[in-house]
Structure 1
Amino acid sequence: MNYLLTKKELGSISLKCGASLLLKFCVQEKLLLLSTNSSNKLLGEKLFSKNCLELAPFKSVQFFEWGDWEQNPLKNRSWQWRLNWLSFLPYLIAYHRASGDEAVLDSALEAIQSWLKTYLETDNSYPFEFIWHDHATALRAEQLVFFTYYCHEFAPAWAKKHSDFLTYLEQALMVHGQWLAEDSFYSHHTNHGLEQARVLLLLGTVFEGEQSQKWLQIAIKRISSELEFAFTEEGVHVENSPAYHIFVFKVFLGIIKDYPEEVLGDLAQQFNQFSAKALSFVTNILRPDGRLPPIGDTEQLPTSDGYKEMFGHRLEYQYFLYSHTQGKQGVKPPILNKVYPKSGYAIFRNEWPAKEHYQKAFHLIVKVGCSSRYHHQQDEGHISLYAGGEDWLIDSGLYNYINNDPVRKYMRGRPGHNVPIISHASYSKEFEHRLSAWKVSEFSESDTKPHIKMQLDVLAPVSHERTVTFDSQTKIVEVQDKISADDKQSRNITLQWHFPKDKTLSINNNQVLVTSDSGNQLAIEFEGDTPDDLSVVSGRKEDRVFSCISYKANQVEPSQLLRVVFRVRNQLNVTTRFQFKKIS
């Protein structure tokens, strides 16, 4: 598949020139922001003056010349992805804006020209994945649009001297548009597909001509379809990750903000049907420390606002603001506990505190099941618990996107979550089985004693019923696990409870005491079936991972795993009780 256009085709479509209301939000305002961004300027200066290329969130690497686009100095495919969508161009744009040195634009020209001459005429049979990669292609096209308009608006003398290059760049953008418009290239119903459609909409807007109108029509149709798929009727994004909920939500917000109704049609109305619910999910999922929980492919980092312009007049925004600022601004939300039975989440709190002790609140999250293939982890029934200003029960996080990395395998699999490990049971080879193999059978959003009961049939032939109850007055969490199978085969069952490395775990018979340097204490005891063995493991040994957590991408540290083993059981019925002996 090769989309290099002929001269005849080139003549039928061209970039729009000058300022226009249509380009104001989707190009000109964004260009102003990225070209005056102080962080971009510093990174551009490092790249141009010191040959240091820093593709966040990765560390700097020495980078002396453009040409080796398939290099991998950090052994990380996400770094290669960022390099090949030319994510460094805003750095050079901002540094040129600050310095006025045309040599900075010459360096950007050299980089762009090198990539285009190497790859523009290739097709998707080329062996390196990030040339015509679904997401990288879209983001690269966007960067090339911004660079083109920047040169014309802020460096007209340079643009005039390099008019042949900019004409070539315009053709390269058309080639990218052809790729993005192709149905077989479109990643249907994913965040990548949404980004492809968003950038195709941008290309359809900045170009004029018959082809650009076709791109607009394709883009609007796809965005509408993505919008319909991306969020459940409860307003929760289906890609199994709080971080991707926010990312995709903000992509849609940006589309609605950047384009007028004459372009979008009824997309804004379609978006409004669930947008307030989507914002409320962010309000509820944010931890008392202001960070996102590392559930699914999520980093445990703060999130930005970005909702005021569209939602500032609504109470849902005031509730979000209270959660986002840890009680310093906004209005205290009226609902304490929230269960999303169709989306697969339960979120329980003991209170929405005042700002003085906001971080001391209890925050319990249950991840029931997955809603789509993207960014899924084997975390059906997982529980995270934050209390007294610190983590207790933890998830494992993202780490990276290198699927053969043993740490990444661990974090995606059942061993990285607070879920049982069950012998002689496995996931179906057909992923779609997982989408329907879980359900919330009962729940309560009571202020004082919320609970959720879930049925988990993801591990054939095992049936697992897990009930989580939170008593907000006594600060007790109870997890009842009932496990059985029709085949009557005896199985070894291990309940897993992960804790951060700063906790001390002491085992006394079948009781466990978890203590913190802060003086907080959590007691764990079991009611019903008696465990055969309790033990604690931590960290990793070479490729064998016992217990680790990644708070930020590409970073990992040891955590601790309490293993509660039940050997040779036909069935299991046990309640694990977590009771805080001391909490401040």
Structure 2
Amino acid sequence: MSRIRLALLVSILAIGCTATSDAPPWSPPEAPPPPPREAMYLELEQGDLETADGIMNDTWPARGFPAAKLAWPLTWTEDPYNDAFFRFMFYSLRYTEHLWFAYRATGEERYLEKLHAILRSYIANEKVRPFNRRTIDNEHATAYRVMVLTYLYVKLEKRGSLPPDVGDGLRSSLARMAEYLMDPRRFESWANHGFTQAAALLVLAHNLPELEGASTWRTTGLERLEVMRTTNIDADGVDIENSPFYHMFVLGLVTQIGAWAAEHEPSIAPRWEATKRAMIHYLAYVTYPNGRLPMLGATGTSIVANQDPLIYGPLAAIDPEFAWVWSRGEGGTPPAKRAELFPIAGLFVLRAPKAAPEQTFVTFDSGIYRTDHSHLDALSTTIYSDGAALVPDSGLYTYDRGADYDYFHGTRAHNTVVVDGKDQPEGAARPGAYGVTGNTSWATGESTLYQGVTHRRTVVIIDQGLVLVTDDLASDTPHEYAQTWHFFPGAGLSVDGLDTNVDNIKAVPILLLRQADPEGLSVAHAYGQTNPIQGWVSLAYSKKEPAHAVEYRRYGTHASFATAFVMGRRARSGTPARVRQRLDPVTGERLVTVCAEGSNATVRIRNEGTADASVGVSKGGC
């Protein structure tokens, strides 16, 4: 072989290797095709064979429980686990979508026959059943059922697979449900349910305009959708439920309603587009650096990039900071603001300079309790660092009232100060000042929710892996103040005097918690405690597991805490960590010195908890 031919061959091979080894640049997913008139929600067009095959054997999904084997024929009183979510999904008929999907995917008539059988059973029951708001007449389930049955009616009719008796029964049921939803008492405008209750009227009117009342349903649906858009999403672009999960869920609804409107109600589409863009910003900022949502309010374990790519993926083309979140850092740009306040929601988001999955990241709630999906968690803080939520919220366990609901919804399940062992009442904390100085980001807030008690908290990310939280509580009468901290499930924990040391699941030190001013301070530890309930976390709905919690307690008319969180390599270094505080006798400022590996810092806090607050960090003091 000549040298020229050999050189040419080597060049070709080199080019080929380069082409195959270099991954193409990341780009956001393309938007799906415009939605058909009968499918405002994309889930109606989706499904899976596994769920369909389960229903063929009368086995129905049950989130948080084993799949439920139900007797056939259905009685329409089913509630195998006494669970609100099962009732909602079953009585909305949402699972029947999978049978239609399986029929379209395989062409097997057995799926269509089962769907017909379920619809006939439902129609027969409609003629004789009593009113039951707990199950089939739940307003949210009814609205989704209108969406599902409208979709199935149109699809079956187009395919010539709608038997006359089924068609007549569905039209009768849909008309009756529309009139039920028209009742203003059935419009839950204070929660995300109202979006679907309004949308159902609009979709039904568009697809069965021959039904008596359809014109009025359309008008009412449009009016109520505007109510939802303007009252359930605040001027910051934040869903009012104080739950990152429900914000993400409502963003999905807003995105789908806007896409449907662009095709079928174009006059309202621009307003929904603007709302969608505002909501994307909050989701980009509230998401932890590992792509998970903090479990604030009614939020369980949620990974942003695992959501439906047809709905959420195209949003990455709109906002480069959301593109960073959606792509897990492969595209877009990291959120630029290291201290961000959503003032109406009252939520601060703080982050260290390092834009990576290890970045230290803090949420700090100084806002208002707004709906039942909010928790009683004023001035609560979560801390993420080194790839995990080290000091998380306890999560969502159940919607059903009882002792477990009271705990997970209540104050002692959150990282704040509990007064006299009681829950905070519903109400509002107030965000104060916030800012960034060098590597430091900080925020401060105030709460007077406990009667006669003023609580001021300041949260400072001094640097990567180093966080300071200070609390000042004052009252005219003495109280017990319990500064409460919850740790991630699987953590190893030891308490040495007042020092709390936390290891990861591999028994490697990951977090040191240190307190200033030991005089008069005591500590209590809980792990899976049942009376009173303390030391639990719920990563998934209806599932809970023990997790370590500590309560630092003081008693008196005044209590002050200064708590340092030393994380990651700083916790593993072997360098002793300590924290001291004092008041400047001249200025009255709080001076807190934090000593740890790589840190010799004094934090100066002025006018804590107020709009005039300031925080400065200087070297020295150790």
Please give the TM-score of this superposition, normalised by the length of structure 2.
0.80
Deviates more, 1:499-508 or 1:113-122: 113-122
SS in 1 for 2:433: strand
Distance in structure 2 (CA, Å) of the matches to 1:121 and 1:141: 19
After superposition, give the CA deviation of every residue in 1:463-496 in whole Å (9 maximum; x if it has no partner).
11111111125x32111111112xx221111111
CA contact (8 A) 1:34 1:40 kept: no
Aligned to 2:389: 391
After superposition, give the CA deviation of every residue in 1:108-167 in whole Å (9 maximum; x if it has no partner).
2332333333345667xx34512221100001111111221221233x1x42xx212212
Cα drift, residue 68 of structure 1: 2.5
Q: 1:312 to 1:480 in 2, by over 3 A?
A: closer
Among 37, 49, 59, the alignment partner of 1:41 is: 49
SS in 2 for 1:572: strand
After superposition, give the CA deviation of every residue in 1:263-307 in whole Å (9 maximum; x if it has no partner).
252x33333444333111111111122111111111112122556
Cα drift, residue 423 of structure 1: 1.5
Aligned to 1:322: 324
- State how 1:149-548 maps to structure 2 within 5 Å: 149-154=154-159, 156=160, 158-159=161-162, 162-209=163-210, 211-260=213-262, 263=265, 265=267, 267-303=268-304, 304=307, 305-306=309-310, 311=315, 313-314=317-318, 316=319, 318-351=320-353, 353=355, 358-404=356-402, 406-423=403-420, 427-428=424-425, 431=426, 434=427, 437-446=428-437, 448-473=439-464, 475-485=465-475, 488-516=476-504, 517=506, 519-528=508-517, 530-541=519-530, 544-548=532-536
CA contact (8 A) 1:23 1:206 kept: no
Distance in structure 1 (CA, Å) of the matches to 2:53 and 2:423: 52
Aligned to 2:101: 94
- Give yes or no for the alignment of 1:555 onto 2:566: no
Please give the TM-score of this superposition, normalised by the length of structure 1.
0.85
CA contact (8 A) 2:34 2:259 kept: no
Q: 1:153 to 1:352 in 2, by over 3 A?
A: farther
Aligned to 1:53: 60
Among 36, 46, 50, the alignment partner of 1:25 is: 36
Percent identity of equivalent pairs: 19
CA contact (8 A) 1:425 1:460 kept: no
Cα drift, residue 312 of structure 1: 5.3
Cα drift, residue 66 of structure 1: 3.2
Q: Letter of the aligned partner of 1:46 in structure 2?
A: G
CA contact (8 A) 1:298 1:398 kept: yes
Distance in structure 2 (CA, Å) of the matches to 1:171 and 1:383: 51
Aligned residues: 534
Aligned to 2:113: 106
After superposition, give the CA deviation of every residue in 1:18-61 in whole Å (9 maximum; x if it has no partner).
xxxx9953426968x755x4x5222112221x332224464312
Aligned to 2:141: 136
CA contact (8 A) 1:236 1:278 kept: yes
Cα drift, residue 262 of structure 1: 6.7
Q: Letter of the aligned partner of 1:392 in structure 2?
A: L
Cα drift, residue 310 of structure 1: 6.3
Distance in structure 1 (CA, Å) of the matches to 2:310 and 2:323: 11
Among 151, 176, 183, the alignment partner of 1:146 is: 151
Q: 1:447 to 1:61 in 2, by over 3 A?
A: farther
Aligned to 2:16: none
Cα drift, residue 257 of structure 1: 0.2
Segments of 5+ residues of structure 1 without an aligned counterpart are 1-21
Runs in 1 of length 4+ with deviation above 6 angstroms?
A: none
Q: Letter of the aligned partner of 1:60 in structure 2?
A: A
The structure richer in helix per residue is 1
Distance in structure 2 (CA, Å) of the matches to 1:424 and 1:287: 30
Aligned to 1:12: none
Q: Which is greater in Rg?
A: 2
Q: 1:352 to 1:137 in 2, by over 3 A?
A: farther
Deviates more, 1:552-561 or 1:39-48: 39-48
CA contact (8 A) 1:441 1:455 kept: yes
After superposition, give the CA deviation of every residue in 1:502-550 in whole Å (9 maximum; x if it has no partner).
3233323332222333634322222247343212110143x75221111
CA contact (8 A) 1:498 1:561 kept: yes
SS in 2 for 1:359: coil
After superposition, give the CA deviation of every residue in 1:183-232 in whole Å (9 maximum; x if it has no partner).
22211232111110011111121121462121111111111111111122
Q: 1:530 to 1:230 in 2, by over 3 A?
A: farther
Cα drift, residue 374 of structure 1: 3.1
Distance in structure 2 (CA, Å) of the matches to 1:100 and 1:524: 61
Give me the CA root mean square deviation.
2.6
Distance in structure 1 (CA, Å) of the matches to 2:542 and 2:286: 23
Distance in structure 1 (CA, Å) of the matches to 2:572 and 2:519: 28
Q: Letter of the aligned partner of 2:523 in structure 1?
A: L
Q: 1:120 to 1:193 in 2, by over 3 A?
A: farther
Distance in structure 2 (CA, Å) of the matches to 1:45 and 1:57: 20
Cα drift, residue 251 of structure 1: 0.7
Q: Letter of the aligned partner of 2:390 in structure 1?
A: W
SS in 2 for 1:47: helix
Segments of 5+ residues of structure 2 without an aligned counterpart are 1-32, 574-622
CA contact (8 A) 1:119 1:131 kept: no
CA contact (8 A) 2:362 2:382 kept: yes
Q: Letter of the aligned partner of 1:480 in structure 2?
A: T
